């Protein structure tokens, strides 16, 4: 039984305007949510503070937990149920970096047991200073930025043989970012400006394959981060790992399509570019869908059965794999078509 017929011919490029409108709407909603929420809701890793995970032997009331925390000077802490309701587990977050020595553990257990009337078990205690959290935020942004630049070098070299040009551009951008960083420029603003300058340079230097791939990757990351903001999920170090995984997965899909486009441009060079792009996407469609589905099955199992610790990580991968598959078909390849339209006008 064939999953997708070999002679399938779906007009993906013909629907590029609809795809661009849908993508633009998702990006606008994501950015609007981030602005309204003042950015992502950073976890302990990035915001600093103390996280305590506790487990009770029987169901307890959240207000009684808060009352117990007030007696030890943690009245401003947030209390959130963690995992299944039957597990009776809770996460306590406080903005202050409290001392997590042995005395603190005994004090919090005694206070919560007295107010709730239930035995309490401390599952984990994490403490991150505010300066450490700031440093981790900046390093996470730089990790994604450098990943995109090195991807640019690879794509430009492999598909357009412009290794030196793309490498010089990437080194110049890294140098500019480093220099401006010395003047205490906001890192998120700096990275955002560098990405915009990168896209402008791609356009004028005619690095069309690199531009298609990077636009698709920025599209994937923006929508994933936006959904975290919309659902008010925490942004932590494992989520950065998930975003870097999404970048790699989406890029792999895009390269497969670009590789077939390059082959078909040589084989059918007399045909219109729109026909070649559609043919290339359709020829790789079976591989794209089967790979995405098998990956989604695994990630969905992690999301449902993996427990609270990796729940947000699996959610990021679910969104990223789905959006990455969509962008490889409807964003990366149509960018090449838009490029040809620009060249015709010139």
At 213, which CATH number? Answer: 1.20.1640.10
Same domain as 201, residue 140: yes
The pLDDT value given to residue 115:
84
- The percent of residues in the chain predicted with pLDDT above 70, rounded, is 94
2 inside domain: no
Same domain as 250, residue 158: yes
Instruction: Tell me how many domains the chain contains.
Output: 2
Altogether, the residues listed in the chain come to a count of 346
Rounded CA separation 147/101 (Å): 39
1 inside domain: no
Within 10 Å of residue 301's Cβ, how many Cβ atoms? 11
* Residue 326 pLDDT > 90: yes
What average pLDDT score do residues 220-243 get?
A: 92
Cβ(318)–Cβ(10) under 8 Å?
A: no
What average pLDDT score do residues 171-185 get?
A: 83
* Residue 198 pLDDT > 70: yes
CA angle, 116 then 121 then 126, to 5°: 110
- pTM for this model (two decimals): 0.85
- The percent of residues in the chain predicted with pLDDT above 90, rounded, is 24
113 lies in which domain range?
A: 49-128
Same domain as 154, residue 34: yes
């Amino acid at each position: 039984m064939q999953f997708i017929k070999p002679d399938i011919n779906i007009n993906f490029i013909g629907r590029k305007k609809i795809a661009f409108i849908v993508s633009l709407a998702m990006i606008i909603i994501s950015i609007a949510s981030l602005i309204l929420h003042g950015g992502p809701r950073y976890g302990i890793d990035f915001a600093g503070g103390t996280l305590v995970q506790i487990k009770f032997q029987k169901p307890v009331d959240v207000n009684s937990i808060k009352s117990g925390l007030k007696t030890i000077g943690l009245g401003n802490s947030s209390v959130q149920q963690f995992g299944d309701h039957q597990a009776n587990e809770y996460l306590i977050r406080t903005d202050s970096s409290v001392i997590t020595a042995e005395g603190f553990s005994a004090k919090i257990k005694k206070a919560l047991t007295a107010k709730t009337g239930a035995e309490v078990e401390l599952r984990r205690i994490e403490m991150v200073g505010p300066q450490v959290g700031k440093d981790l935020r900046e390093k996470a942004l730089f990790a994604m930025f450098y990943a995109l630049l090195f991807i640019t070098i690879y794509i430009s070299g492999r598909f357009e043989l412009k290794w030196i040009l793309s490498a010089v551009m990437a080194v110049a951008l890294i140098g500019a970012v480093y220099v401006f960083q010395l003047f205490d420029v906001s890192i998120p603003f700096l990275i955002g400006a560098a990405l915009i300058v990168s896209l402008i340079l791609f356009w004028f230097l005619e690095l069309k394959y690199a531009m298609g791939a990077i636009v698709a990757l920025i599209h994937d990351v923006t929508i994933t981060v936006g959904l975290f903001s919309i659902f008010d999920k925490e942004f932590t170090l494992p989520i950065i790992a998930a975003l870097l995984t999404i970048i790699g997965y989406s890029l792999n899909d895009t390269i497969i399509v670009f590789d077939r486009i390059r082959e078909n441009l040589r084989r059918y060079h007399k045909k219109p570019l729109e026909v070649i792009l559609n043919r290339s996407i359709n020829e790789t469609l079976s591989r794209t869908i089967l790979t995405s589905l098998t990956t989604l099955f695994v990630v969905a199992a992690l999301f449902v059965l993996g427990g609270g610790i990796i729940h947000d990580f699996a959610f990021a991968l679910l969104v990223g794999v789905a959006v990455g598959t969509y962008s490889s078909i409807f964003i990366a390849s149509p960018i090449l078509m838009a490029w040809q339209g620009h060249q015709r006008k010139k």
